[in-house]
Chain A
Amino acid sequence: MSSTSQKHRNFVAEPMADKPVTALAGIGDVLGGRLEEKGFDKAYVVLGQFLVLKKDEELFLDWMKEACGANSKQAKDCANCLKEWCDSFL
């Protein structure tokens, strides 16, 4: 709890519904824009990608770096955010 951001805590607190991709921890305006260009305009689409990669963190990190040019920290924050969300709601 101490090492997660407010954004992370907000995201994992409730079902994501139609939240935009920028609601994910680690994803700001720039990365969000790049993801939206590729068709990942909602958080649940990125969730879908995370699930299709079998919730494997390493694969998801690689994908994030390739898809939107995220660095290790950003990708890891996003992966942790999704993982925790899945633990609670999936």
Chain B
Amino acid sequence: MANLSERTADELRELLDEYGIKHGPIVDSTRSLYEKKLREAMAKAKKPSSDKTYYREEEEEVVTYVTRTPVRAGPAGDSGAYMRSRPEWTEREYQNEASYSSYSRSTPDYRGRDYADDALLSDFRPYTYSTPTSYKSSHLKSPSLNYGDPKSSVASPAPKSSGFVPPWFQVIFFLVVLIFLYIVFSSMESNENIKGIE
């Protein structure tokens, strides 16, 4: 593999066409960019993986989601349990991303679902909200989205879309429901008494 910077502009242009890289004229200001692209394409060609630009985007985007989900997954009644499972999940996501980086675009599809499966079993529903959206945005196929949705729609009553309901509101709502149930229960008791008298 000859040194790219020693090659002529024509040779670079031919190589770019070979790798199917869209390019403009090779001038001083663009040369280093195209050399870098060619090096990446050559490195990628050695590995049996697909587009590396996608891979980089995946990493970027998933990283943002990893940092976001802890905020989103926060609001719930049993915050203690969430606390425990949250780092688990984010850790797993990180591992996911590390393993993703060495695989092609199609395989993360299935990997993601496997890991999301495990995440679902041990964690609570709100996590599945973030999983499908993160995979969706890193342009994987929709199956992961469908997979996530029915379960999340069944499970979570309070958070409608994504952690927009503040925690204090949920606590108050829970207390209101409790009080309501207590009132119902107490009124039922008095009904029974009336029935007994009759």
Contact = CB atoms under 8 A, between A and B. Distances in A.
A54 B27 CA distance: 12
Which residue, of B25, B27, B29, B37, has the highest number of chain A Cβ atoms within 10 A? B29
A59 interface: yes
A66 B27 contact: no
Helix, strand, loop or mixed for chain B's interface? helix
B22 A59 contact: yes
Contacts, number: 29
Interface in A41-89: 49, 52-54, 56, 58-59, 62-63, 66, 72
A50 to B, nearest CB: 10
A84 B32 CA distance: 27
Contacts of B23: 54, 59
A-side interface size class: 10 to 19
Contacts of B32: 66
B30 A52 contact: yes
B27 A52 contact: yes
Interface in B80-94: none
A3 B39 CA distance: 36
Contacts of A72: 60
A52 B24 contact: yes
Interface of B: 22-25, 27, 29-30, 32-33, 36-37, 53, 60
